[in-house]
Structure 1
Amino acid sequence: MQTEIYLIRHTTPDIAKGICYGQTDLDVVQSFPEEVELTRPHLPANIRTVYSSPLQRCSKLASALFPAHEIQFNDALKELDCGTWEMQAWDEISKAEMDPWLKDFVNVTVPGGESYTIMHERVLRCFSEIMQQPSPAVIVAHGGVLRSILAHVTSTPLKESFDVFSLHYGCVVKISGEPGNLSHELLYNYSAAGKEWHRPTVNSSQA
């Protein structure tokens, strides 16, 4: 069965740089309408099904792009659960907690949260189900979720996925082909704000 799925990352969240967040339900910034219009031209008109993380930075984008669709929200498409680190400044998280995760963020679980592997497994279960549904389809989700899917499609090790897939807010990636033989194409990926930084600055975490 031929598949055509468009991955869309949410637009810019309303959060200061340097703050750890995952499943915190952040709102979007005031430039949201303009960001929506930058993403819109890169999507086809014949989308049949729309799936989204229920967090509002995704749900608002899905609703704005596809007002005529019944959006299917799925908790499995949420970002990594950052547990007790949610909404803490990266540089204020204790070194004792942070160092093991920095050394192996794929397998080490965030205190009270998830590891990248745990998130990857739930995302792939959801993605496999979506693959069986009518397409063209859309998935509106988070950077970690999209990278997890792309790592699976391209057989990229999870530990390399953040370096291999630089995905800016509002980006669009097309996945197409048959199960076991999928390809991806980056249709839109622009950031006026530059590179994000979702980890402590060097040598700054507290003992």
Structure 2
Amino acid sequence: MELDRRVVLSLYRHGVTQANQEKRYIGWTDALLAADGEKVLQQTKKYRPEAQRVYVSDLTRCVASADILFPNQKKIYHKGLREIHFGEWEGRKADELMNRTDFSKWLNDPTNMEPENGESFLVFTERLNEWLQTIREECLRDHISNMAIVSHGGPIRQLLVQLAPTPQSFWDWKPLHGQGVTLVWSDREAFGRGERCTLLSAVPIMEKENG
């Protein structure tokens, strides 16, 4: 494998927030990092690969996480990397939503149901795919070899569904707060064509979390 031909893409989930710790749904809700979140990110920083470009969700918890992981690098902020919008569920816990018809239907069919005033899974994946196509084009045009993304659990799961070497379902991927997954393609053209990566370094399995 020629090192100057390969592409390395690292996906980082933002550090944990108090709302995450309380298991609240915080899709587009802005939330500050908890002290535990900052601590884990500082540890992750010691082991992260270098990145020529850093793409970041524009929500505060991701912006702050990227500033810890990549303190001296320019960041590119993008709304397309936001978590799914939970609408009327934002800021609430699951046990507070159990009497809602839309929530109970979503638990049984999250792909086809959506929160009231929220975002459907289809709209979520379409905006994420639009962003992904943009960075593929930038990678080819600018000969980028090392990229990093700082985003949320949902976008990282969906990117892994599409890009990991072995297909798995959305909920099979369980990225850790403040930690990352690294994907490697043997050549830039394969990444540009939308092929799956050839190597992956995955985070450990953990329980499902929201946001």
Does residue 139 (structure 1) correspond to residue 144 (structure 2)? The answer is no
What is the CA–CA distance in structure 2 between the aligned matches of 1:168 and 1:123, rounded to whole Å? 20
Question: Percent identity over the alignment?
Answer: 24
Mark the CA change 1:115 to 1:74 in structure 2 (over 3 Å): closer, same or farther. same
**Which AA in structure 1 matches 2:114?**
T
Match of residue 173, structure 1, among 181, 187, 208: 181
Question: What CA deviation, in whole Å up to 9, does each residue of 1:82-109 have, x standing for no partner?
Answer: 0111012211223312122112101212
1:189 deviates by: 4.3
Does residue 153 (structure 1) correspond to residue 163 (structure 2)? The answer is yes
Q: Which residue of 1 aligns with 2:43?
A: 38
TM-score normalised according to structure 1 size: 0.83
Mark the CA change 1:79 to 1:197 in structure 2 (over 3 Å): closer, same or farther. closer
1:176 deviates by: 1.7
Q: Which residue of 2 aligns with 1:195?
A: 207
1:187 deviates by: 5.0
What is the CA–CA distance in structure 1 between the aligned matches of 2:57 and 2:199, rounded to whole Å? 21
For residue 110 of structure 1, give the secondary structure of its aligned residue in structure 2.
coil
Does residue 14 (structure 1) correspond to residue 24 (structure 2)? The answer is no
Match of residue 186, structure 1, among 191, 197, 201: 201
What is the CA–CA distance in structure 2 between the aligned matches of 1:42 and 1:117, rounded to whole Å? 35
What is the CA–CA distance in structure 2 between the aligned matches of 1:197 and 1:146, rounded to whole Å? 13
Mark the CA change 1:181 to 1:19 in structure 2 (over 3 Å): closer, same or farther. closer
**Structure 1 regions of 5+ residues with no counterpart?**
199-207
Q: Which residue of 2 aligns with 1:204?
A: none
Dislocated runs of 4+, deviation >6 Å = none
TM-score normalised according to structure 2 size: 0.82
**Which AA in structure 2 matches 1:39?**
T
What is the CA–CA distance in structure 2 between the aligned matches of 1:136 and 1:96, rounded to whole Å? 45
**Structure 2 regions of 5+ residues with no counterpart?**
139-143
What is the CA–CA distance in structure 2 between the aligned matches of 1:35 and 1:116, rounded to whole Å? 30
